C-alpha cells in the first residue's frame, strides 16, 4: 500500500463505501507564524478543514510532555489510543492524515499509527494546500473507534541505539544542513550532529509544491547517502517530528527505517554525549 495519497484520490475515497477517517494535524515548529502572530492548530482547524476531519493535537496527543527524553517524546499510549478512538479510528478503517502542507506533523501521526499496528494509514501529499475541495468549519462527532495501539519492536531507537547505528549502518539527520553542521542552533543547547550521522534535510524529499518526489528519485537520493536494502537505517531530527517525514520518504522509496524519537533535543541535553560539527560525519 502506498504511504501517501493525492488530493484527487482522497476525494474519490471520501465518496466511496469505505471512506477513510481524516486527521487534521496542523502544527508548526515555532509558535510564531510568518505574520508574527502565534499559530494555533486548533484555531486553524476551526477556520476551515476538510469535511469530516477531526483535529489532533500533536503536542498533547502525539507526544508527551517535554523533558529529559526530548521535546516531543513518545506519547502515553493510553492518551494516544484514546485520541485515535475519539477521532473514529478503528483497526479496519483506513486513515488519512494531513497538515498545513509541510508534511511533518501528518507524518508523525502516520508513523505513530503504523508503529502501533494500524495497517492502512496514509498522508495527504501536499497537505491542505493541495486539497482544493470544499472546507467546513463544524467539528464532526464520529462514532468511537476501536483502535488499540500495540507497538512494534525494532522501529524505535534510543540514544545508544542511534549512536551504534551511526557506526554499523546508516543514520540520517533530517534537520537543515546548517543545524547539522553546527553553524546555527536556534532551539537546543548545543549545535552539531551525532558522530557518524549523515546530513539529509527533509527539504530534499519534496518538490517545490511540497509534494513528495517520485519513488525512483527518492531511492536515488538515499542511495547516494549509502542507503541500500541490506543496510539498517535510522533517522533523527530536532525532536522526532521532521524525522517521521524522512521515514515516510524512505517508505515511499521502499526502505524501512527506525526513528530516534528523542533526536537532537534529547542527545544534546546530555553533556556526556559526543557532538560532531562541520560537514563531515566524523
Q: For cell 532551539, name the residue.
A: 187
Can you say whether the dihedral through the CA atoms of 186, 191, 193, 199 is positive or negative?
A: positive
Q: For cell 541500500, name the residue.
A: 228
Instruction: Please answer whether residues 248 and 213 qualify as being in contact, where contact means their C-beta atoms are separated by less than 8 angstroms.
Output: no
By three-state DSSP, how is residue 178 classified?
helix
Return contacts of 211-215, CB within 8 angstroms, 24+ apart. 211/125, 211/126, 211/130, 212/4, 212/103, 212/125, 212/248, 212/249, 212/252, 213/249, 215/252, 215/253, 215/254
Among residues 130, 176, 237, 249, the one annotated as catalytic is 237
By three-state DSSP, how is residue 104 classified?
helix
Burial state string for 51-80 with b = 16 or more CB within 10 A and e = fewer than 16: eebbbbebeebbbbeeeebbbbbbbeeeeb
Rounded to an integer, what distance in angstroms lies between the CA atom of residue 229 and that of residue 248? 16
Rounded to an integer, what distance in angstroms lies between the CA atom of residue 177 and that of residue 80? 32
Can you say whether the dihedral through the CA atoms of 269, 271, 275, 278 is positive or negative?
A: positive
237 in catalytic set: yes
Instruction: Please answer whether residues 237 and 263 qualify as being in contact, where contact means their C-beta atoms are separated by less than 8 angstroms.
Output: yes
Name the H helices within 140-282.
159-168, 177-181, 215-223, 242-252, 263-267
| Residues marked as catalytic | 237
Amino acid at each position: 500500500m502506498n504511504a501517501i495519497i493525492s488530493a484527487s484520490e482522497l476525494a474519490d475515497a471520501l465518496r466511496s463505501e469505505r471512506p477513510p477517517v481524516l486527521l487534521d494535524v496542523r502544527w508548526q515548529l515555532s509558535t510564531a507564524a510568518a505574520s508574527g502572530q502565534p499559530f494555533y492548530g486548533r484555531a486553524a482547524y476551526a477556520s476551515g478543514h476538510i469535511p469530516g476531519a477531526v483535529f489532533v493535537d500533536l503536542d498533547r496527543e502525539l507526544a508527551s510532555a517535554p523533558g529529559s527524553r526530548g521535546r516531543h517524546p513518545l506519547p502515553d499510549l493510553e492518551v494516544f489510543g484514546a485520541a485515535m478512538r475519539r477521532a473514529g479510528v478503528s483497526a479496519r478503517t483506513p486513515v488519512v492524515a494531513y497538515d498545513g502542507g509541510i508534511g511533518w506533523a501528518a507524518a508523525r501521526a502516520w508513523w505513530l499509527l503504523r508503529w502501533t499496528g494500524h495497517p492502512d494509514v496514509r498522508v495527504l501529499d501536499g497537505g491542505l494546500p493541495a486539497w482544493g475541495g470544499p472546507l467546513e468549519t463544524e467539528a464532526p462527532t464520529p462514532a468511537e473507534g476501536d483502535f488499540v495501539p500495540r507497538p512494534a519492536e525494532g522501529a524505535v531507537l534510543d540514544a545508544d541505539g542511534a549512536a551504534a547505528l551511526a557506526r554499523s549502518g546508516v543514520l540520517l539527520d533530517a534537520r537543515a544542513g546548517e543545524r547539522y553542521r553546527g553553524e546555527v542552533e536556534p532551539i537546543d543547547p548545543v549545535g552539531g550532529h551525532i558522530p557518524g550521522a549523515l546530513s539529509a534535510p527533509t527539504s530534499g524529499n519534496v518538490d517545490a509544491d511540497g509534494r513528495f518526489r517520485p519513488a525512483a528519485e527518492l531511492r536515488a537520493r538515499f542511495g547516494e547517502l549509502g542507503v541500500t536494502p541490506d543496510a539498517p537505517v535510522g533517522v533523527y531530527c530536532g525532536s522526532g517530528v521532521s524525522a517521521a517525514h524522512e521515514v515516510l520518504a524512505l517508505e515511499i522509496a521502499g526502505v524501512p527505517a527506525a526513528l530516534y524519537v528523542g533526536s537532537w533535543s534529547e542527545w544534546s541535553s546530555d553533556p556526556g554525549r559526543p557532538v560532531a560539527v562541520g560537514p563531515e560525519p566524523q
